[in-house]
Structure 1
Amino acid sequence: MAAPRPPPARLSGVMVPAPIQDLEALRALTALFKEQRNRNLDTIGVAVDLILLFRELRVEQESLLTAFRCGLQFLGNIASRNEDSQSVVWVHAFPELFLSCLNHPDKKIVAYSSMILFTSLNSERMKELEENLNIAIDVVEAHQRQPESEWLFLIITDHFLKSPELVKAMYAKMSNQERVTLLDLMIAKIVGDEPLTKDDIPVFLSHAELIASTFVNQCKIVLKLTSEQHADDEEALATIRLLDVLCEMTANTDLLSYLQVFPGLLERVIDLLRLIHVAGNDTTNIFSTSGCVKAEGDVSNVAEGFKSHLIRLIGNLCYKNKDNQDKVNELDGIPLILDSCSIDDSNPFLTQWVVYAIRNLTEDNSQNQDLIAKMEQQGLADASLLKKMGLEVEKRGDRLILKSTSGTPPL
């Protein structure tokens, strides 16, 4: 029988790094616990205590760091595909382990702790996260630092975004940079290879309410960007990303009908388009038309595509919706949209989105068609611009008709 191994030595209250054979033993245990029959739930609490001790010591020796990583791998393996083990891991690890590890400078420790969190989360435990928002926000911060991490991405897209209550609570407490990260992942979920499922739609309708109401309430903040003093205003940049989310949401048929009738949204978008259009014409600022290609190495425009996306959103909101078509007309939005169609390096595909919006505004709407035809006759709408859109004005008796030049029936 082998002699018992003496306990690890301590020096001034700090544990001496484990010998190599201890690390090898820990690796061997980690491998063994990948097998279901070898799992022993009594060891989970001890493993968590050791991991928290490693974090508390904050010693950077490679051997101790390796033991730290192996301890997390052990917990990840023991919890994998085993609900009983996940429950025990959660009881011992939440919230201290995640608070300690998700913001660790070592990428592997962040990756292993996020794997444990992803594996252990379920609908019931998501409610506990609402009471510990710092953990949820730490996940978003970690994704900012490590956007390549698959576990962090999956925690947010497969767990967080399925809880409207959590997202709403997080958004209220986050910094603007963190909000941009969350909104980017919301876009990734909407435009991903796998379409939103029937179960996803009610959840994303709740997200749409948060996004639309926030945009309606604070969209004018983007006008801060006209001042050089506020050229990098983070609240304004977060508001720009709200617009990007709305564009993608309204491209989804199930979300579009809800947003088409959202109170004040269409009016606010038209109002904002008018304000930035005037601001860009009156003085030289971030919203001014840039008719030349940027030189290589130029700093990217933080508002790039903003006007294009406003017009895209108007087009989406008016898609087969007579009430919104008429509302744009009442708000003098049609001349504004036509006047926005110019070569602008800061707004890629601007002309294409104007064409799209005008087609949606005039489809089966004789009043809007008549307006554009009269504008062309009065010289208020450029005939060459209409031609680019595939439209032309034809006089039939006493009436002006806006028709398609492609030979298709009138709009």
Structure 2
Amino acid sequence: REMAEESIFRNLLEILISASSEIEQACKDSGELVDLDTCLLLIAECFRCLRNACVQCAKNQHVMRNLGLIATSVHLIKLLHGIQIKEELLLTALRCSLQFLGNVAAGNGDSQNSIWKCAFPDLFLTCLTYSDEKIVAYCCMVLFTCLNSDKVRELLDPGNLTVAVRVLKVYEERLDSEWSFLIVTDHLLKCPELVKALYAKLSNQERVTLLELVMTKAIEKNLVTTEEMNVFMRLADFVAGCFQEKCEAVLKFTSTADTEDKEALVTIRLLDVLCEMTSNNGQLEHLQALPGLLETAIDTLRLTHLAGKQAVNIFTARHALTGQEEISHPAVGFKSHLIRLIGNLCHKNKENQDKV
């Protein structure tokens, strides 16, 4: 592939431009039955050639970008989406086009910037909502490859935040999607302001999913740089604030009818994350000093204990329950987690110990 002449890529560009014109004309003549099969086959083959030619080849990546192949490809992808048919030929063309964008961007900052300029946010929003799983996965691959700290901050714009929301939905709907997982854990969670804005936009079920991803980062405990420490602390501040605000929602579980209450499930997950965060000695002092967190944990423990004594429910001491208790109930262990959090917050901290 290193020996490929620029003329080859120029020829492929001309074919794609011609194909774009044919599709545009077909869309205008929508009243007539137009056969695009040959055109779609040709598009797919062109993108296969381009995709393969730029694998680990910076020279070809630069040539393709300078010829305008990225802009042409993005334009063509938008046209293909507009055809609104789900035939295999169309899906193959779309998949190959996104694979090309992923490969031309890999390890190449200039190409990443070019794709971002042409494709963000419209193309990502279009492809992230596609019904074809491969197209969604390849779109996530392109997005992950293009993202950096500056581009992540662009997601804070209200019009762009939908991209982040959609990525989380993709992860929630397709738990085997490695790229959506990496976008959240390697990029989005590194911007606490974005996490806060994203959290506000999410349903309670989606918040549970986001908090589970926060948990995976908290468990890693491999923070090295000062910047990583600062990000973690700001994230911890946010999680603690959410817990303090919504902690009493867990009391909805005193009713057997509310075992699926999503707001209460969020509270449980917030506590899980805080337990994990306070198990990290590097950041423990910061968390121990958070205003009101210890008091909230103690008050919540008192309330759940009282709720368990007033009636037989999930917060009732185990020995007082009948054998019909659902071990799988989401609130099982909530009180023990509260005790764990209180213990962590008091670890080698006399001021907090005295409060307890």
TM-score (norm: length of structure 2): 0.84
Which amino acid letter does the alignment assign opposite residue 251 of structure 1?
Answer: S
1:304 counterpart residue number: 332
- What do the CA deviations read for 1:262-281 (whole angstroms, capped 9, x no partner)? 11111111111111112112
Q: Which runs of 5+ in 1 are unaligned?
A: 329-411
**Hey, what does 1:36 align to over in structure 2?**
58
Q: String of CA shifts for 1:343-387, please: whole Å, max 9, x gaps.
A: xxxxxxxxxxxxxxxxxxxxxxxxxxxxxxxxxxxxxxxxxxxxx
Contact preservation (8 Å) 1:208, 1:255: no
Question: Which residue does the alignment assign to 1:252?
Answer: 280
Give 1:90's match in structure 2, choosing from 111, 116, 126: 116
Instruction: Tell me which residue corresponds to 1:118.
Output: 144
Q: Does 1:150 align with 2:170?
A: no
Q: Identify the residue that residue 271 of structure 1 maps to in structure 2.
A: 299
Residue 126 of structure 1 aligns with an amino acid whose one-letter code is: V
Distance 1:294 1:69, change over 3 A: farther
Deviation at 1:15, TM superposition (A): 6.7
2:222 maps to 195
Is 2:205–2:262's contact at 8 Å kept on the other side of the alignment?
yes
Q: 33, 37, 48: which one pairs with 1:27?
A: 48
SS of residue paired to 1:58: coil
Shift of 1:20: 3.7
Indicate if the aligned counterparts of 1:190 and 1:249 stay in contact, CA closer than 8 A: yes
Alignment: residue pair count: 324
Matches within 5 A, 1:165-244: 165-192=193-220, 195-198=222-225, 199-244=227-272
Report which of the two has the higher share of helix: 2
Indicate the SS of the match to 1:191. helix
Distance 2:313 2:250 in 1: 12
3-state DSSP of counterpart to 1:197: coil
Equivalent residues of 2:40, 2:90 under 8 A apart: no
Contact 1:208 1:259 in 2 (8 A): yes
Q: Which residue of 1 aligns with 2:350?
A: 322
Distance 1:261 1:318 in 2: 10
Structure 2's unaligned 5+ residue stretches are: 1-13
* SS in structure 1 at match of 2:223: coil
Paired amino acid for 1:314: I
Q: Using the TM superposition, give the Cα deviation of residue 215 of structure 1 relative to its aligned residue in structure 2, in angstroms.
A: 1.0
- Structure 1 residue 288: Cα displacement: 2.5
Supply the distance in 2 between the matched residues of 1:166 and 1:263 (Cα, whole angstroms): 23
Question: Is 1:16 aligned to 2:5, yes or no?
Answer: no
Tell me which residue corresponds to 2:7: none
**SS of match in other structure, 1:59:** coil
What is the CA deviation profile of residues 164-211 of structure 1, one whole-angstrom value per residue up to 9, with x for unaligned ones? Answer: 11111111121111111111111101212x612233110010011111
Asked whether the 8 Å contact 1:190–1:196 carries over to 2, the reply is no
TM-score, length-normalised on structure 1?
0.74
**Could you say if the C-alpha distance between residues 19 and 293 of structure 1 is closer, same or farther in structure 2, counting changes exceeding 3 Å?**
farther
Residue 293 of structure 1 deviates from its aligned partner by 11
Higher RCO (C-alpha 8 Å, min separation 6): 2
Q: Helix, strand or coil for the counterpart of 1:148? A: coil
**C-alpha distance in 1 between matches for 2:307 and 2:279:** 29
C-alpha separation in 1, matches of 2:93 and 2:274: 46
* Alignment root-mean-square deviation, CA: 2.4
Tell me the equivalent position of 2:78: 52
Quick one: which amino acid aligns to residue 233 of structure 2? L
Sort the Cα spacing of 1:15 and 1:99 in 2 relative to 1 into closer, same or farther, 3 A: farther
CA distance in 1, matches of 2:202, 2:146: 24
2:4 aligns to what?
Answer: none
Higher mean displacement: 8-17 or 174-183? 8-17
Q: Deviations over 1:204-242 (max 9, x none)?
A: 100111111111122011111212343322111111111
Partner of residue 6, structure 2:
none
Contact kept in structure 1, 2:249 and 2:264, CA below 8 Å: yes
1:130 match: secondary structure: coil
Alpha-carbon displacement from aligned partner over 1:288-334 (angstroms, at most 9, x marks no partner): 33458989xx6821112211100100110110111111111xxxxxx
Q: C-alpha separation between the residues in 2 aligned to 1:294 and 1:56? A: 58
**Compared with structure 1, are the counterparts of its residues 326 and 19 closer, same or farther at alpha carbon in structure 2 (3 Å cutoff)?**
closer
The corresponding residue for 1:70 is 96
